[in-house]
Amino acid sequence: MIDYNDRIPNNVDLAANRTLQRALEQWQPQFISWWQTTGPSDFQAADVYLRTAIGVDAKGWANYDYVRMPDYRWGIFLAEPEPDRRIGFGDELGKPVWQHVPGEHRSTLRRLIVTQGDTEPASVEQQRILGHTAPSLYDLRNLFQINVEEGRHLWAMVYLLHAYFGRDGREEAEALLMRRSGSRDNPRILTTFNEPIEDWLSLFMFTFFTDRDGKFQLKSLAESSFDPLARTCRFMLTEEAHHMFVGDTGIQRVVRRTLEVMNELGTDDVERIREAGALDLPLVQRYLNFWCSSSLDLFGAEISSNAAAYFATGLKGRPDEAKFKDHCERDTTYELEVFADGAVRTESVPYRNAVNEVVRNEYLADCERGLSRWNKWIERAGLGVRLRLPSARFNRTVGVWAGIPTAPDGRLVDRATFEAHRDLWLPTQSDRAYVRSLMRPVYEPGKMAAWIAPPDKGIKDKPIAYEYVRLA
Ligand code: BYC
């Protein structure tokens, strides 16, 4: 069980390590100050119907109640240790996992933890202004639930930095509160986390595509030989599921509302759909193309010596490592497409160097499941169009496809063709302005903005019309 009597709730017996406890207690007010200045703008005095973990197993989410966000009990929760856990992959396969950081892996492991940790506050910063335009109290509550949990995920990484990386770790923990999403001087580390999220369609795309990268990265880190990292990621994954649910159902509700409007008007004419205040499917597709391609970059380069080293040394594995047959992949190869000398060819590379690509492909298959659910609604409405994932070649800035102009279906095109079609393939200024024009807050319990259908059900068996946020 989690001890909520401590100033920092935890299940790691923090009280037994006074030095660590003091160091984290010094970081805590800096975190609160970061939250107050860069977290959700306003709403800090509102009572929000939030879940708080009371334990770290599947039933640990029993506690739902009204909480003011600054009073949320951010803390340190690791999944229970697995007795006699062994290294599951790489050159050290079968040896006991590490409870401390081996000296030779210290800086690489720190870099991985910092990169993971950096995304968490970044996403809170990106979503800062969305409360002002929530399409319903239900959605507003979900936004804040996500925000406080991303704050907790930052705590998870900061705990590891403080507990296992000494002075360097403490400095990195401070730097995590100093970088800012979108800042020119001190930006967040990974590209997607510097993109603005100024409307709710972007939020739903981000929570569908980018939080799903989080799922796959956390699953890879949950396999780590460094056991405290594995355990903290296992617990983080239980929180992540709701974030992806918000994206998945959010886009589905947008699509359903658009289909309703199309049906009422009997047209697929974009202008008429927009006049009726809904989001036309071509616009939804452009947003999807943008957020999917940006999130594909987050897996790193197709051929990566970093990824090979993480795998060999046991620092970072593949999601659900147990399901793979070969956990060593020492002399195996992987075939992937590369672009060289103006042409596409298939290259055989050492498997370990292609781990980013293996994980990216699993991610794409997972995304595809969401799309097929949305497309079922479109099919049922009797329409021939479908939402599609862009090719992994499209609009990339990292890896072998970086800067290579292609169409969303992966067809190679020349730069002029790409530029001529950009407005068909990626969100335009006028798309963004239109979406922004729809962003008006709806704070009456049970009411929804006109561009989105209501959810199927409320939170924790409460009705949709429940007052999920009591505005101060
Ligand atoms: N933008 O060998 P390469 C989440 C850097 S999301 C900018 O290709 P590697 C969440 C890379 O860092 C999950 N830079 O890549 C979601 C490297 O730099 P260094 C976050 C990039 O190392 C929603 C260099 O390029 N977790 O949790 O194999 C809300 C060469 O890299 C990018 C993690 O990412 C990019 N897109 O793989 C809240 C897990 N891509 O180190 C939260 C930890 C690459 O040479 N991170 N670079 O200076 C990692 O495992 C790896 O760093 C990456 C890259 C998978 C990101």
pLDDT tens per residue, range 416-436: 999 999 999 999 999 999 999
Instruction: Pick from 124, 190, 290 the residue to mutate for probing ligand 1's pocket: most ligand atoms within 8 Å of its CB.
Output: 190
Burial tier of 99 (Cβ tally within 10 Å: 0-12, 13-18, 19+): exposed
Is the per-residue pLDDT at 288 higher than 70?
Answer: yes
Task: Out of 118-122, 160-164, 342-346, pick the least confident.
Answer: 342-346
- Ligand 1 touching residue 149 (CB < 6 A): no
Question: Residue range 210-224: average pLDDT?
Answer: 98
For residue 410, the model assigns a pLDDT of 97
pLDDT in tens, 372-403: 999 999 999 999 999 999 999 999 999 999 99
For residue 1, the model assigns a pLDDT of 67
- Ligand 1 touching residue 279 (CB < 6 A): no
For residue 379, the model assigns a pLDDT of 98
Indicate the pLDDT class of residue 11, thresholds 50, 70 and 90.
very high
- Ligand 1 touching residue 224 (CB < 6 A): no
Is the per-residue pLDDT at 413 higher than 70?
Answer: yes
> Do β-strands 469-470 and 343-350 pair in parallel, antiparallel, or remain unpaired?
unpaired
Is the per-residue pLDDT at 210 higher than 80?
Answer: yes
Instruction: Pick from 107, 112, 115, 213 the residue to mutate for probing ligand 1's pocket: most ligand atoms within 8 Å of its CB.
Output: 115
Residue nearest to atom 13 of ligand 1 (CA): 214
Over pLDDT 90: what percentage of the chain? 94
pTM of the model: 0.97
Euclidean distance between CA atoms 207 and 243, whole angstroms: 6
pLDDT in tens, 47-91: 999 998 877 776 666 689 999 999 999 999 999 999 999 999 999
Coil, strand or helix at 344: strand
Instruction: Assess contact for 399 and 297: CB atoms under 8 A.
Output: yes
Is the per-residue pLDDT at 136 higher than 70?
Answer: yes
Residue nearest to atom 1 of ligand 1 (CA): 190
Indicate the pLDDT class of residue 12, thresholds 50, 70 and 90.
very high
**Residue 323: CB atoms within 10 Å:** 7
Say which amino acid occupies 291.
Answer: W
Q: Give me the chain's average pLDDT, please.
A: 96
Question: Residue range 317-333: average pLDDT?
Answer: 97
- Ligand 1 touching residue 151 (CB < 6 A): no
pLDDT in tens, 144-172: 999 999 999 999 999 999 999 999 999 99
Instruction: Assess contact for 312 and 352: CB atoms under 8 A.
Output: yes
Question: Residue range 457-465: average pLDDT?
Answer: 97
Question: Residue range 95-120: average pLDDT?
Answer: 98
For residue 342, the model assigns a pLDDT of 84
Euclidean distance between CA atoms 289 and 273, whole angstroms: 21
- Ligand 1 touching residue 239 (CB < 6 A): no
For residue 63, the model assigns a pLDDT of 85
For residue 388, the model assigns a pLDDT of 98
Q: How far is the CA of 333 from the centre of ligand 1 (A)?
A: 23
User: H-type helices in 266-327, by residue range?
Assistant: 270-275, 281-297, 305-313
Instruction: Assess contact for 74 and 155: CB atoms under 8 A.
Output: yes
DSSP code for 86: B
Is the per-residue pLDDT at 134 higher than 80?
Answer: yes
Which tokens sit at 186? Answer: 């001190």
- Ligand 1 touching residue 191 (CB < 6 A): yes
